[in-house]
Amino acid sequence: MKKIGIIGYGWLGTRIGERFSENFEIFTTTTSPQKLEDIRSKGIHADLAFFSEEKNEFPELWNSITELDIIIITVPFSERRTSKEILEKKLSSLFSFTGKFEKQIFFMSTTSVYPDKPGIFTEEMQPSENVFVENKIKEAFPHINILRLGGLMGDGRLLKNFKISDVSGVVNHIHYEDIAAIILKMIEKNSMGKIYNVVAPLYPSKQQVLAVQNNQDIERTNQDDYKRIISSEKLISELEYTFIYPDPKSFHEGRNINLL
């Protein structure tokens, strides 16, 4: 049984861990002492880990690192909200914790790396060298797989539960079930050094998604004013991947999917 380390056991990390736990031995980290025993009670190895943004004190090497076959990093690194100086400190803490991990490794990035303007955006239009955090983490791990995630959705996390001030334009969302399935596909293929946009291949308007989730009639909308589309064609083609949830309008329709 392969051993997977999930660094960051928040909303997404928890769901990835739950879906992989029957077929992989899971090791993870949390910043919450209160969560530690709860995670361990589910048969998951858990350690406390803090990636400081302010201090120059770095954590010791993760004591589980030599046992792991795969690492998935879900710790957020927001370039919009954090200075580069603070991000560098946080990244240095992460690198101190992981050491020079040379096996398969994944980093959860974001589609916010693309300009906030109309257009169809592919991975080649924004090389990782032009994205501060991606570039730094790729310097440390040249073989890392970078997944640029769209808006995270699934379970009770739906567009209608967010405060939406502007409903113009289309959504670039992804269901967490697809994220887990895509990572699994890449593990099976032993993918290395890949960059993929991980976004559902259909792009309904925000108005349409909200209407469906609120059990209202879907109105015809004019999407020509603002279409910012993050293309997932590269992922679909290279991985021969079929999305579990291709249409964000159906994200609220829960299913039991066995990914493994």
DSSP state at residue 23: T
* Domains of the chain: residue spans and CATH: 3-250 (3.40.50.720)
Nearest to 200 by CA among 156, 166, 144, 159: 159
DSSP state at residue 154: B
Question: Do the strands 45-48 and 25-30 form a parallel or antiparallel pair, or are they unpaired?
Answer: parallel
Does residue 249 contact residue 212 with C-beta atoms inside 8 Å? yes
| Residue 116, pLDDT above cutoff 60 | yes
DSSP state at residue 46: E
Residue-wise pLDDT for 137-195, tens only, equals: 999 999 999 999 999 999 989 999 998 877 878 999 999 999 999 999 999 999 999 99
Residue-wise pLDDT for 45-79, tens only, equals: 999 888 866 655 667 899 999 999 999 999 988 87
What are the C-alpha distances in Å from 181 to residues 20, 116, 192? 10, 28, 17
% of the chain residues with pLDDT over 90: 71
Report the pLDDT value the prediction gives residue 254, as an integer from 0 to 100: 60
Report the pLDDT value the prediction gives residue 52, as an integer from 0 to 100: 66
Residue-wise pLDDT for 79-103, tens only, equals: 777 788 889 989 999 999 999 999 9
Query: Quick one: 88 exposed, middle or buried, by C-beta within 10 A (0-12, 13-18, 19+)?
Result: middle
Report the pLDDT value the prediction gives residue 258, as an integer from 0 to 100: 40
With the C-alpha atoms ordered 107, 94, 131, 204, is the resulting torsion angle positive or negative?
positive
Q: Write down the mean pLDDT value for the chain.
A: 90
